Structure 1
Amino acid sequence: MGSMRYALDALTQVRRELARPLASGKLECVACAHRCKLAEGARGVCLVRFREGDGLRVPWGYTGGVAVDPIEKKPFFHLLPGARALSFGMLGCDMKCSYCQNWFTSQALRDDEATTEAIPTSPEALVAAAQRYRCPIITSTYNEPLITAEWAHDVFALAKEHGIAGTFVSNGHATPEALDYLADVLVGYKVDLKSFNAENYRKLGGKLEAVKETIQLLWEKGIWCEVVTLVVPTFNDSDQELAAIAEFLASVSPDIPWHVTAFHPDYKMTDPPATPVATLLRACEIGRRAGLHFVYAGNLPGRVGEWENTRCPACNTTLVARWGFEVLENRITPEGTCPSCHTPIPGRWQLVPVPA
């Protein structure tokens, strides 16, 4: 791991936006909820942020991968349906989920089996690629974007100038300071709410309360938020835990879309079986009973019936029909309403023009 760390350390900038001086002389990093308190030269839990003088050396100027994806893959179902997103990621994470499906990027500094390389690039190059491939959205994903927030901010600020919407695919283990810093350049934020059990969150390397606070703050700030729970057999699939998640989301807003997605054995968690269809359907019904207007079942295209589609909560008209990541039909009006009963449908429905 030493050579990887050395290579990544060379691709950094000294920044102060998310550094807070403490009376002790240490600097507090407020990029994520670990709030690492750093002496000179010390690294945070993420291993990619470290102190230098009165600032933090933070990742900048590279990517661990770039792809053009349907926005539904993130998944966002209420953000420009059918649009393409230029997806980019970096390396590292502030958590250590044993079932991570992007472990080759997120665990690059913890696992010798992760061999992803850092490819130098610039905000200008990423935004130009989004324009070239006609992507109205640009997404920081693949690893945890909070720990590379300054890089994402610079990319998104430039993208915004060109009418391209910035989005996060994140574990939501944020701080109010980080959300304040990103608010002007973020249009959408997908949060992984992994469990509603504080002890399980500690095992994954995070804090449940921090993720709950993130969801509440995103909604208050008007940043479009969708929440995903990967339903893992024997880990978080009980009726009680699924109901607790759904009831919490409904208490923030019944309009928050909740995606329940199927687990498959991966990385270091190979014992539990893949999530059966029946479990996702049960979770969807629990979400609906809790009062959520928009509940979706993912990862099993064509096997979950109407739970892939967006329906009007007032008259039940199918508004957006999907098969997996593919939009088959979109009937939401340009004004963002149901064409049958004219009920406003929460989301971001207007395509942002991408300059040629």
Structure 2
Amino acid sequence: MVTLADRLDAMTRPGELYTRLEDGTVQCYACAHRCRIKPGRRGICQVRFNRDGVLYVPWGYVAALQVDPIEKKPFAHVLPGSEALTFGMLGCDFHCSFCQNWLTSQTLRDPAAGIPVESLLEITPEEMVNLARRSGAAAIVSSYNEPLITSEWAVAIFKQAREAGLLCAYVSNGNATPEVLQYLRPYLDAYKVDLKTMQDKQYRQLGGVLQHVLDTIKMAYDLGLWVEVVTLVIPGFNDSPEELWEAARFLVSVSPDIPWHMTAFHPDYKMTDPPPTPAKTLLRAAEIGQEAGLHFVYAGNLPGRVGSLENTYCPQCQALLIERRGYIILDYRLTAAGTCPQCGYKIPGIWPKDPREVRLHGWGYPRPVRRLITP
């Protein structure tokens, strides 16, 4: 019987993000763990492994694939109203107890995780790009598992996606290295980072280091990637005013133009004790972000319950620029140059060249998700 590990190990090829050390050991730098992996061993992510002194990495398959609104990533300042072909592989370098994609991310680490072997779809970069074009997607996004650990495969897709005029993005935990960001930079447009907490102790319980994530946000911004940051606000875990102020001040120190998304927690995976995040908590968190000086603060996951915090406003004259409800764009008023039509202020982001092409939907209009493989 072919196991999932056997199948995954067969869908690999020699990687690029590593160096060779003595005695056949390799050091991977796809993520900030910088695993030193001896022959026959795996990295923390479980999907990058050393075979006879060569690092083998995931290649040629997807475990989750669907077309959905780019606002779902969430990106608020990237081609509003457009669709994104989103793909994921398996594995992660963190082990968050509240992971909402744990079936794919915790494969080979948690015996309860994993998907059926037969559900993996073998696919080529050419087929992925053709699928995106046929589905009308404007972007290709790597998500569902941690994209950093499958960066060689993502770059193979993104190279061809760029040639086809598609935008390319990562939805990541931000546990990056300077080397992997430099590797991605020629092919990546936008980078969404999860800033899970401002407590290093909490980060280490999730499998990471706070400073690595903070460094990634700054490095990605300095490299010219469009960066948006998401904090899943969890009652009793990271929702204290002191911690939210610390996060907001850090983001302002990088750039007040970085959009900060506050999203609502719901019990999942191994974290089932805290209650779902109430709307009032998101509103309070967003107020902190605004008072700290961030120009664009959003509240998500609770459409219609967070007032104006789903919309985009001009930071100079406060004109309403993009009206939203959930993933639906109700009104779009930016100019073709990405400026406020009222005062001319340049709004940072990646905007459609022709505002008339932005798809608007009425109240309650269902914007469907087209699942090709269920994540």
Same fold (TM > 0.5): yes
- Give the Cα separation in 2 of the matches to 1:2 and 1:283: 48
- Give the Cα separation in 2 of the matches to 1:2 and 1:260: 42
Code of the residue aligned with 2:292 in structure 1: it is A
Residues 206-232 of structure 1: CA deviation (Å, up to 9, x unaligned): 111110011001110110000000000
**Which residue is equivalent to 1:325?**
327
| Unmatched segments (≥5 aa) in structure 2 | 358-375
Q: Is the 8 A contact 2:336 2:353 kept in 1?
A: no
Q: Is the 8 A contact 1:99 1:266 kept in 2?
A: yes
- Give the Cα separation in 2 of the matches to 1:20 and 1:289: 45
Residues 158-187 of structure 1: CA deviation (Å, up to 9, x unaligned): 100100111001101100000000000000
- Give the Cα separation in 2 of the matches to 1:41 and 1:186: 32
- Give the Cα separation in 2 of the matches to 1:315 and 1:82: 24
Shift of 1:4: 1.4
| Unmatched segments (≥5 aa) in structure 1 | none
- Give the Cα separation in 1 of the matches to 2:215 and 2:159: 25
- Give the Cα separation in 2 of the matches to 1:54 and 1:163: 38
1:240 to 218, 242, 245: 242
Q: Is the 8 A contact 1:136 1:351 kept in 2?
A: no
- Give the Cα separation in 1 of the matches to 2:151 and 2:52: 20
- Give the Cα separation in 2 of the matches to 1:342 and 1:351: 16
Instruction: Describe the SS at the equivalent of 1:114.
Output: coil
C-alpha RMSD of the superposition? 1.5
1:1-356 counterparts in 2 under 5 A?
A: 3-15=3-15, 17-22=16-21, 26-116=25-115, 117-350=119-352
Q: Is the 8 A contact 2:31 2:180 kept in 1?
A: yes
Instruction: Describe the SS at the equivalent of 1:139.
Output: strand
Code of the residue aligned with 1:232 in structure 2: it is I
Residues 38-70 of structure 1: CA deviation (Å, up to 9, x unaligned): 122221000000112443100000000110010
Residues 173-203 of structure 1: CA deviation (Å, up to 9, x unaligned): 1000000000000000100000000000000
- Give the Cα separation in 2 of the matches to 1:43 and 1:206: 18
- Give the Cα separation in 2 of the matches to 1:110 and 1:40: 19
Structure 1: which 4+ aligned runs deviate by more than 4 Å? Answer: none
Q: Is the 8 A contact 1:297 1:308 kept in 2?
A: yes
Residues 108-141 of structure 1: CA deviation (Å, up to 9, x unaligned): 2222333424221111111011000111100001
The structure-2 alpha-carbon separation of the partners of 1:240 and 1:2, relative to structure 1 and needing over 3 Å to count, comes to: farther
- Give the Cα separation in 2 of the matches to 1:137 and 1:315: 31
- Give the Cα separation in 2 of the matches to 1:295 and 1:175: 27
Instruction: Describe the SS at the equivalent of 1:229.
Output: strand
Identity, in percent, stands at 57
- Paired residues in the alignment total 352
- Give the Cα separation in 2 of the matches to 1:55 and 1:192: 31
Q: Is the 8 A contact 1:80 1:351 kept in 2?
A: no
Q: TM-score, normalised by structure 1?
A: 0.96
- Give the Cα separation in 2 of the matches to 1:170 and 1:53: 30
- Give the Cα separation in 1 of the matches to 2:54 and 2:297: 43
Instruction: Describe the SS at the equivalent of 1:172.
Output: coil
Q: TM-score, normalised by structure 2?
A: 0.91
Code of the residue aligned with 1:65 in structure 2: it is A
- Give the Cα separation in 1 of the matches to 2:129 and 2:318: 39
Q: Is the 8 A contact 1:14 1:52 kept in 2?
A: no
